[in-house]
Structure 1
Amino acid sequence: MSRFRVVFITLMIATAFDPHSAWSQAHNRIDSLKRQLLHLPADTSRTKLLLQIGRQYYDQYKESRKGRNHAAMPEIHHLLDSAINNARQVVQVSSAANQLPQQAQALYLLAKCFSFGESYDSTRTIDYYQQAQKAYQQLGNKPKAAEVLEDYADMVRLHVGSHKALPLFMEELAIQQSYRDTTIYLTFERIGVIHQDIGNYQLALQAYLQSLRLAEQRNNLNYQIDINGRLADIYELLGNYERAITISHKRLRLIRSQRGIESINLLVGQYRILMKLYPKNHQYPQARQQALAIIELVRQNPDPQSLPLTTCLAESYVVLGQYEQAERLYIRLLPFYEKLNNLSGLIYINTQFGELYWLTRRYEQARHLFQKALTVSQQGRFPDRTAILHQALYKVDSAQGHLRSALLHFQLATAINDSLFNQTKNRQLEELRTQYETEQKDKDIRLQNQRIQVLSQQQQLQTQQLQQDRLVRNSIGLGAVMLLLLLGLTYNRYRLKQRSNQQLQHQHELLLTQQYQLQAQQTEINHKNQDLRRLLAEKERLLKEIHHRVKNNLQVVMSLLNSQASYLSDNAALSAIQQSQHRLQAMALIHQKLYQAEGIARIPMDDYIQEVVAYLRESYELPQPIGYDVQVEPIELDVIQAVPLGLIINEAITNALKYAFPNGRRGQVSLGFLRKDSYELTIRDDGVGLPVDFDPSRSQSLGMTLIQGFSDQLGGQLSIISQEGLTIRLTFSEHQLTSLGSHTDYNYQ
C-alpha cells in the first residue's frame, strides 16, 4: 500500500518553474553581498557574510536541480563548488579567530554540499557532519546538534543503509529528550520508518504509536494525518487489515475537518486507500462504496488537469466494473505520465492499465503494458515491483498457454522474492550479531575493569599497611626525642620566667607612673578640644549669619533697583537695571545655599544651576515656547568658583533669551555641567546665532566682557561657536584660579 501513496504524493507535489528567472534573482543577490564583502575587515561580520554567500549558492543549486535530468547536472555544478569554497574560507578564518559559531555553521554547510549524489564523498561528508555536531555541542546548542544528527542520519540511510542510520536517530532522540524538544514526535516517526525499512514491523509500530501520542498532545492536526497514514501502512504489512481500516477511517475524519483544494486531494487519496484495503479484508461492497465516493467527489470538484484525481477516478471505475470509462481515462493519462519522466509513476500507470486489460481478458495489450512497466522497473532497480510484474506476466502467459514463458516469469519472481526475503533476514541477523558482539565486548570490558579494580584495591591495602608500620616506628622514635627536648625546654623556660617576672615587676612600676602622666595630659587635651569645638561652632554660626545677611543685603539692593526702575522710562536703563538684578540674584542664591548647607564652603551646583535657570525662565516670559534641557551632575564647588560660574550662566542664558529667538521664533536652550578630566560647562541654543562680522574677543558689550572676565578668573578655556545657533563652552579645573580669584581673595570681579 505504501508504494501507491508514494506515487500519489509525488504527483501532487510536481510543480513547474522558470529556472532562468530564479537564477537571475539569486545572481543579483550574490553580487550585492560580494560588493558588501569588499568593505568589511577580517572579523565576525566578514565570516557571517561569507556564510550568507555560500548558503545562497547552495540554495540556488538545490533549486536548479529540480526539473533537470542527470546529464544536465554538470551545467550547475559550479554553484555547488562556489558554496564549498565560501564555506572552506569561513572554516579557515573562524578557526584562526576562534569564532566557533561561524565554524560550526560552515562545517554543517560543507557536510550538506558533499552529501549530494554527483559530489558525494562519504569520508568527507561523515567527517564534516561529525565536526559540525561536535562544534554545536561545545557551544551548548542542543537543538542545532540534533538537527545536524538528523541530516547525518538521513545521509547514512540513503548511501550506507538503514541499519547504520538507526543509532544516529537514537542519539538525536536522546539529545532532544534532554532539552524537551516539542517536535520530538518527528524523530519517533523517522525511527519508525527505519525499523519499517529493516523489517522490524513491531518496533516500527511502537515508534509510530509514540509519535502519534505526542502529536495529539501538541494538537498538530496535519501531522496526525501523516502519522495515521503510516500506522495504516504498518498494520497492512502486519496483515492486520481490520486495524488498518480502522486507522484509515480515523485519518479520513481528520482530513474532513480541513478545507481547501489540498483537503479534497487528500480525501480522494484516502478513499482510494480504503478502496484497496477492503478487498484484502474480503469486504467488497465497502470497496465499491469508496469507489462511488471518489466518483462523486471528483464530479463535484472537476479538475481534468489533476493527474492524481484522474488516476483515482480511473481506478474507481475498475472497482465498479465500468471498464470502458476506466480505459478512456487510462489512455488519456498515459502520455502525461510519460511526459513527467517519473519512473515510479510510469511503472504504476502501466501496471494499473495492464490490470484493466487482464480483467477484460485482453491479454496481448496487458502483456505489452506489463512488459513496459517491467522495463522501467528494471531500469530504476525496484526489485519488489519487478517481482510483482513477473507474477503478472506469469498470469498472462499462463492464460494464453505460453507455459515455458510463464514458468520463466514465475521462477524470476520467486528468485527476486527469495532474494528480498534473504536480504531482510540477513540485515536482521547482522543486527543481532552486531548487538551480540557489542554486548559480549561490553561484558568482557566490565569483567576486565572489575579485575583491575580488585587488584588495585589489594595493592592500595598493602601500600597503606606498609605506610602505617613505617609511621608507627617513626612516631615512637620521634616521641622519645620530643620528650627529651620538652624536658630541657621546660627547665629553660622556668629559669627565663623567673628573670622575666623580675623585669616585668620593674616595668609595671614604670608603666603606672607613665599612666598617671598620660591621664593628666589627656584631661588637658580634652579641655582644649571642647574649647576648639565651641569656637568652631561659633565660627560656623557667625559665617552662616554673615551669608544670610549678605543675601538679605543683596535682596535689599535688588528691591532698590526695582524701585528705581519704576521711575525710569528709558528701555536701555530698564534693561541694565534688570540685568543687574539678575546678577545680584545669582550671587544671592550662592549665599542662600551657603546659609542652608551643612558645610560653609561648598555649593551643590546641581540645585543651584536649576534655580538660576528657573529664575531666568520666569523673568523672561517670551510669547513663543522655549524648551529647556538642563543636565548637571552632582558637583560641589568652592564659593570662589561657584560665584563666577553662576554669573557666566546668568549672562549666557540672558543673552540667549534676549537675542537668540527674535520675531516669535521657537527654540531650545540646553545647559550641561559635567565632570570629566576637568569641569565642563556647555550652554547652547538653536537660535539665530551671532552676526557674521561679530568677533566675541573684541566685543565691548558688558555681558560678553563679564563672560570673558569670569572665565579668566576661573582660569578656564572659553570657546564661543556660532554655528546652527550659539554654543558657549568653558572648561576649568578646581585649582585653576588666577590672580583675580584665589582661596584667600573673595570678591566678584
Structure 2
Amino acid sequence: MRCNTYFVRLINKLVIFAVMRRFVFLFSFTFIFLISHHVLASKEQQYSLSDLKAMLHQKHTLRYRLILNLRISDFYFYSKVNNEKNLDSALYYAREAYAIKRANPGLDPQGWSKVNIAKFLIRKKQMGAAKAMLADGDVNFRKNLLMSIGRYYLFKAGEEKKDLDSAEFLLKGSIKLSRLVHDIFTEQLNELYLITVKLERGDRIGTRQMYTALAKECLTKNNLDGAAEAYSTMGDHFMFSETKEKLSAYYKAMELFRMNGQGVEQMNMLRAIAEITFHEGKLAVAEKQLLTVLRWYRNNHYKNAQDIHSQLSNSYRFKGDLVNALFYALEAVKSAQLTEGDEAEGVYFSGLAQIYNEMGDDRNSVLWYKKTLESLKHKKSEFLYVNLKDLSDYLIKEGKSADVIKLLDSIHNPKNSTPLENEIVAAIKGNCYNYQKNYPLAEKYYLEMLKWEQQARLHTFSSSDSYHILASFYITVGNYSRAEYYLQRILSMPAGTYPLSRVKDVYLQLYRADSARNDLSSALLHYKMYKSINDTIFNKDKENQIQELLIKYGADKKEADNQLLRKESLIQRDELRKADLIAKITISGTLALLLIMVLLYIQFKNRKQANLMLVRHQQEITSKNISMQELIDRQVKLLSEKEWLLKEIHHRVKNNLQVVMSLLNAQVNYTDNAVAVSAIRDSQNRMHSISLIHEKIFQSETVASIDIRSYIIDLMKFLCDSFHFNQRINFEFIIPLVQFDIVQAMPLGLIINEAMTNIIKYAFPNNENGKVTVELRPLGSDYYNFIISDNGIGLPDEFDFEQSNTLGMVLMQGLSQQIDGEISIRSENGVQVSVKFLLIKPGADLYAGG
C-alpha cells in the first residue's frame, strides 16, 4: 500500500511557487502570492554563499565590497533558515556594509546597509528599537526604513486591523518622503503596497482596478519596473480559476521586465506562467517553459536553480515520467546543498520523498519524509502537516495508528488551524480508524475531510486526492457504488491535472470494484487501462534508467561523502593531535600543580613563621615609632623655638643697627667737617641696607630667604629719601620674583647701596634729571646678572675701576667676591654696574666645599 500523495503535491506546488515569488499569504481560505522588488527582499539566485564570501576576500572597489556584504546579509535573511545563528550572521555583514558606508557616505546614498541592520531588529520583533532608528536625519534611509517596517506589518502572519492600520500609516509616511526627494520608484512601490493593504481589508474587486491604474501611471513616468511589479502583483491576486486574467497580467509583467533588461525577473515571470500552465494540465507546455528558464540560468551562470529543478520534477511526475522526475528532484537537492540555501530545503526533500513513494520505494520515501520534517521542525506551517500526513501513512501501515492519533491530539488545535490543516488531520484520523476497522468513525472523519477540502480548495487535483481516499475506503467496506462514483469523478477531470501514476491506481481500484461485483467486461477494460499506464511508467528500460540514475547519484554522493570523510579524517587527526597535546599539557600541568602546591605549603609554613616574626618586629617598630614621634614632636618644637629665636635675633640686630645709626646721626650734628659728615652718612646708608635685610627676615614666614624684588625697591626708596633729590631721577625696576638666601642678599644690598650712592652724588650734577634702571636678569642654570645703570655724565676718561682705591669701589669688589660673582663697571652713555653670580638656593651653604 503506497502513501497517499495528494497533500504533498498540493503544498509542494504552493511552496515552490511561494519561494519563486518570494512572499505568500492567505486570504480567507485562498493562497495568494505577492512579489516584492528585488532591491528590498531578494533571494540570491546567481551565486552560492561560499562564492559570495570568496569574492568578498578578493580585491574589489569599496562600492563592490559594500554590495557583496549586503548580498551576503540578504542571503542569510532570505535563503537560510530563520534562526539565531543566521540572523546574527545577517547582522554581522550588514554592519560590515554600514562601516564602509559610514567612511564613504556616497557609496550607499539610499542607506540600504542601515536598513539591513533594522531588518535584523524587525526579524527579532524588536519593533521599538527598529522604529527608534527613524530618528536618523537621512531622508533616503528613513523612507526606506518606513517602507520596510510597513511591509512587516502588511505581511505579518495573522495580521489584525491594527497591523494593517500601522502598515498604511508607515507606507504613507514613506510616500511623503519619497516625493520630497523625487524618488518615483519608491513612491510607486509604496502605492503598490497600499493597494495590497486594501486587498487585505477585503476589497478584492476594487483593488484590481487600482493595480491597473498604478501600472499605467508607472508607464507614464517611464517606471517600467514599477509597472511590471504592479501587473505581477495583480496576477498573484487572481484566483487559479481566473486563469485568463492571471496569465494576461503575468505576460504583461514579463514583457516589461524584458524591455527594461531585467533578465532574471523576466525568467521568474516565465516560471510563474509555467506554474499556471501546469495547473491547467498542459504539462508539455509547462515543461518547455521551465526548460527555457533553466537554459537561461545555465547560460548566465546562475547557480540557485533548485526551485526550477523542483518544478520540473513535479511536472515530470504528473506526466508519469519518473526517471526525469527523480533526476530533477535529485538536482534540486544537490543545488540547494551546493548553494547552502537551506530555507526551502524541506520542499526539495519532500519532492524526492514523493517520487520514491510513487516508485514503491518505502524505505527511501520514509527517509526523505523524516528529513523533511526535521528541516521543518522549527516552522509552524501547513507544509509541516502535509509531510506529517505522508509519514503517518507509513506509521499506520507499521501498526502504530494509536500513537499517530495521540500525536495529532497533542499538536492540533482546530480553532487555531487553517482549513487545509484541519483537512489533513481529518484525513490522518480517518486512515487510523480505517486501519483499526472502526469504519463508522473512519467515515465520519473522511466526510469531515471532504468538508474542509471544499474550503481549502485551490485546484482540481486537490479534490482528486480527497475522492481517491474516499473511494479506497468505500472499496474496503464493500460500498462499490460509492467507490465508483468518486473514482469516476477523478477520471472526469481534465487530463494532466492529476499525476499519471495516480490515474493508474484509479483504474486498478475500478478493476477491483468491478471484479467484486462480477462485472467482468468492465473489470477487463479497467485492468487493460491500468496495465497500459503501468507499462508506460514502469517498463524495463525506465527501470534501468532509474537504477543508472540512482547509481550515478549514489556515486556522486559517495564521492562527496568520501571528500567529507577525508575532511573529517583530517579534522579528526588534528583533533587527536590536539587531544594528545592537551593530555601532555594536562599531565605536565598536574605535575606542575602538585609541585606548586608543595612549594605553596612550604611557603605557607615559612610565611606563618615570618608572620610571627613580623608581628614581633611590628610591635618593636610600633614602640620605636611612638618614641620617634615623640622625638619628632620635640624636634618640631625645638625648630619652632629656634626659628622664633632667629627672628628675635634679627629683630634685635636691626634695632641695634638703628641705635648705631641714631648715634651716627647725633655725631653729624656735632661735626662741622663736610668730609666727615659725608663719611658718616655713607656709613648710615650701609647700615640701613643691612638693617633692612634683618627687617625683611623678621617680617617673612621663613628665616632662610627674602624676596629680593621687595628688598631692592624698599632700599631704593630709602636712598631716595636720604638724598632728597625731589623725584628728578626716574627708576625702572626689571626684577623677577626670586627668593634670595640672606648670605647673598646682604652683600648684594651693600653693592646696590654703593652703586646708588655714587649715581645720586655724581651722575647728575646741577640737579639734572635722569633715569636709573635696576635689572636682575636670569642667564640660565641658576646664573643671574644684576645690573644698575644710569644715563648720567659717566666716569672720567682716566678712571680705572681695578686700580681705584676708593672705599666704595673696594667694598663692591670685595662684596662681589664674597658671593663668587664677577663685577664690571662700564662708562658708556652713563655708568653701568654689572654683577654676574650663581644663585644659591635658600638654606644652602655658600661656603660648602671651600
Q: TM-score, normalised by structure 2?
A: 0.37
Which has the higher relative contact order, 1 or 2, with Cα contacts under 8 A spaced 6 or more apart? 2
Larger Rg: 1 or 2?
2
